[in-house]
C-alpha cells in the first residue's frame, strides 16, 4: 500500500481503486494512519472527520473520476458540514458549518473523500501559516522554515503524504507561495473560474479564487474540470474553456513568446538562488522551442497598493462584525491577532468613496498589466523573490514585520490577483538547504489551457519527484 500511495498522484490512485488493485476503504485507512503518524510533527490538519469519511466510503461513494481518493479542505472561506469554519481566527473557533460549500459539493460528486480541514493564517492575511489559534505549520523540508501561506496546511498535508492533493485558495499568492515552498503544483485560476458560494465575495473575489495543490499537472487540470463553472448568483462569470483542461495535458502549445523577469514589480532584483532556478527554466523553455526574452508588465504600483489595502480589509471586517452580532457582543482585545485587528480598525474608517476608488484602481491594474500579454503569450518569474521564510519572520503579532518582509514572498504573485489572470507555480529547483524553489508562469486572462500545456511540457522535460517528504528535516 505504501508504494501505491506514495508513487501515485490522485489520478493514479483513483485508477488503482477502480481497477480493484486496492479498495477505497484500504486507501482511507492508510491516509488516516498517515495522519496519526505525520501530522503531529508538522501541524497541517487542524480538524478531522474520520467516522464520517468511513461512513461515506462504506455507504458507497459517487462513481466520479476521483472515486475513493482522500482529500483535505483549507479552513478559510470554505465550509464542510459538521466541521468548524474558523478562518484561522480565535473569534470563529467554535463556528461549525451546517452544510457544504458549493465547491466541496463538487469535490464529493467527483468521489473525493474529505478527511479534514487544514491550517491557515488568520483570514489568510499572511504569506506564512502561523495562526495563534492552532500554532505554526512547519515545512517538512526544514522544520524551522515556513511552508508559505495562506494554504500552508494543505501544502504540507500533501507534501508529507497524508493526502495526494487538497483544496487551496489564493488572494495574493496563497496557492502559489506554498506550492513553491513545498515542492508542489499550484494553479491560481482566472477570476470567476471556480465558485465561492455560499460565501459572499463580490469585493474579495476580485482577488481571491479557489483551486488546489497537487503533485502533478494532470491532477491540477482534472480538478479544475471537476470544480470550474458558475453557480447561481456568482458575481463574476467567465467564458467556459473550449475543451476539458485534462485534454490540454500533453497538448502541443506551439512556439510561444515568453517574457522573463527576475525582478520585483518595483525593480528590486530577486534572491540569486531564485533567479538561478528561473533562468534555468528559461533556458529549458528555449530548448523546447519557445522564444524567451527579458521583459515584464508595467506594474502600476499605486493601483496595486490601493486594491490590496482596501479590498482585502473590507470583506474581513464585515465578516468579523457579523460574527460579533451573532455572538451579541462587542469585539474583545483577544478576538483578533494584531495584524487582523489593525486591518479591521483601518477598514472601519474607510469611506464609500475610497472603496469605489479601490475597485476602479483594480480595473486599471488589470488593463495596464494585461497589455503585456498582447505581445507575449506567457510571463516567467520566480514564484517568490526569496527562498522559503524562517518561521517567525512573517509575524502577525508584529504587523510592521509583515510590511517589511512581505514583498519578498508575495510581491511577484499578488499583482495577478489584482489583474485576475491565471498563474501557476511549478517545483523546478531547490535552494542550498534543499528547500524547494518554484517558478511562476502567468497567462492572459482565461488562458489556463495554455498554462497547463506548458506546465505539462516542463513536467516531462524536467520531472519532479511526487514522493512524500518523510521524515522531515529537523531544524
Catalytic residues: 74, 150, 174
d(C-alpha 25, C-alpha 114), whole Å: 13
- Count CA atoms within 13 Å of residue 262 on its CB side: 17
Return the C-alpha cell found at 366. Answer: 488589470
Beta strands across the sheet bearing 378-382: 45-48, 113-118, 70-74, 165-170, 209-214, 185-188, 423-430, 436-443, 378-382, 257-260, 291-294
Integer angstrom CA distances of residue 261 from 185, 292, 379? 20, 10, 8
231 φ/ψ angles, rounded to the nearest 5 degrees: -125, 170
- Number of helical H runs and strand E runs in the chain: 18, 11
Contact 188, 423 (CB under 8 A): yes
Q: Strand runs (DSSP E) across 251-367, as ranges?
A: 257-260, 291-294
* 424, 175, 410, 297: CA torsion to nearest 10: 30
d(C-alpha 376, C-alpha 284), whole Å: 18
* 21, 23, 27, 29: CA torsion to nearest 10: -140
d(C-alpha 244, C-alpha 454), whole Å: 16
- Reference 421, options 376, 373, 454, 455; nearest CA is 373
What b-and-e string marks burial along 122-148, b requiring 16 or more CB atoms within 10 Å of the CB?
bbbbbbbbbbbbbebbbbbbbbebbbb
Residues 6+ apart with CB under 8 A from 459: 216, 217, 426
Contact 357, 305 (CB under 8 A): no
Q: Strand runs (DSSP E) across 310-463, as ranges?
A: 378-382, 423-430, 436-443
Listing DSSP states for 4-43 in one string gives: HHHS--HHHHHHHHHHTSS-HHHHHHHHHHHHHHHHHHH-
Amino acid at each position: 500500500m505504501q508504494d501505491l500511495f506514495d508513487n501515485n498522484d490522485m489520478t493514479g490512485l483513483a485508477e488503482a481503486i477502480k481497477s480493484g488493485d486496492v479498495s477505497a476503504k484500504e486507501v482511507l485507512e492508510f491516509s488516516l494512519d498517515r495522519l496519526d503518524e505525520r501530522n503531529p510533527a508538522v501541524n497541517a490538519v487542524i480538524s478531522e472527520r474520520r467516522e464520517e469519511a468511513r461512513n461515506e466510503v462504506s455507504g458507497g461513494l459517487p462513481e466520479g473520476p476521483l472515486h475513493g481518493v482522500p482529500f483535505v479542505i483549507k479552513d478559510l472561506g470554505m465550509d464542510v458540514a459538521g466541521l468548524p469554519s474558523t478562518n484561522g481566527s480565535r473569534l470563529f473557533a467554535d463556528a461549525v458549518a451546517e452544510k457544504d460549500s458549493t465547491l466541496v459539493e463538487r469535490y464529493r460528486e467527483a468521489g473525493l473523500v474529505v478527511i479534514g480541514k487544514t491550517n491557515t493564517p488568520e483570514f489568510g492575511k499572511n504569506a506564512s501559516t502561523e495562526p495563534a489559534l492552532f500554532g505554526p505549520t512547519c515545512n517538512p523540508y526544514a522544520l524551522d522554515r515556513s511552508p508559505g501561506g495562506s494554504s500552508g496546511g494543505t501544502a504540507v498535508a500533501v507534501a508529507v503524504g497524508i493526502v495526494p492533493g487538497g483544496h487551496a485558495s489564493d488572494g495574493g499568492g496563497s496557492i502559489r507561495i506554498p506550492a513553491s515552498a513545498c515542492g508542489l503544483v499550484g494553479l491560481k485560476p482566472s477570476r470567476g473560474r471556480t465558485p465561492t458560494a455560499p460565501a459572499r465575495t463580490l469585493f474579495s473575489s476580485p482577488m481571491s479564487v479557489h483551486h488546489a495543490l497537487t503533485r502533478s499537472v494532470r491532477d491540477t487540470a482534472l480538478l479544475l474540470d471537476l470544480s470550474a463553472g458558475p453557480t447561481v448568483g456568482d458575481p463574476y462569470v467567465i467564458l467556459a474553456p473550449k475543451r476539458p483542461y485534462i485534454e490540454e495535458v500533453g497538448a502541443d502549445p506551439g512556439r510561444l513568446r515568453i517574457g522573463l523577469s527576475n525582478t520585483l514589480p518595483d525593480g528590486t532584483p530577486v534572491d540569486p538562488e531564485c533567479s538561478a532556478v528561473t533562468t534555468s527554466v528559461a533556458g529549458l523553455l528555449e530548448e523546447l522551442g519557445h522564444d524567451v526574452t527579458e521583459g515584464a508588465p508595467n506594474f502600476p504600483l499605486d493601483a496595486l497598493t490601493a486594491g490590496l489595502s482596501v479590498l482585502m480589509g473590507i470583506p474581513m471586517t464585515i465578516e468579523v462584525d457579523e460574527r460579533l452580532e451573532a455572538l451579541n457582543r462587542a469585539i474583545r482585545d483577544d478576538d483578533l491577532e494584531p495584524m487582523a485587528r489593525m486591518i479591521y480598525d483601518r477598514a472601519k474608517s474607510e469611506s464609500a468613496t475610497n472603496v469605489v476608488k479601490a475597485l476602479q484602481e483594480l480595473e486599471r491594474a488589470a488593463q495596464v498589466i494585461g497589455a503585456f500579454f498582447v505581445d507575449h503569450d506567457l510571463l516567467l518569474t520566480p514564484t517568490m523573490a526569496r527562498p522559503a521564510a524562517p518561521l517567525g519572520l512573517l509575524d502577525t503579532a508584529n504587523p510592521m514585520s509583515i510590511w517589511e518582509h512581505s514583498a519578498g514572498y508575495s510581491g511577484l504573485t499578488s499583482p495577478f490577483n489584482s489583474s485576475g489572470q491565471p498563474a501557476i507555480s511549478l517545483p523546478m529547483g531547490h535552494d542550498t538547504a534543499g528547500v524547494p524553489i518554484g517558478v511562476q508562469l502567468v497567462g492572459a486572462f482565461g488562458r489556463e489551457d495554455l498554462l497547463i500545456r506548458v506546465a505539462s511540457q516542463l513536467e516531462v522535460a524536467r520531472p519532479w519527484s511526487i514522493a512524500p517528504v518523510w521524515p522531515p528535516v529537523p531544524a
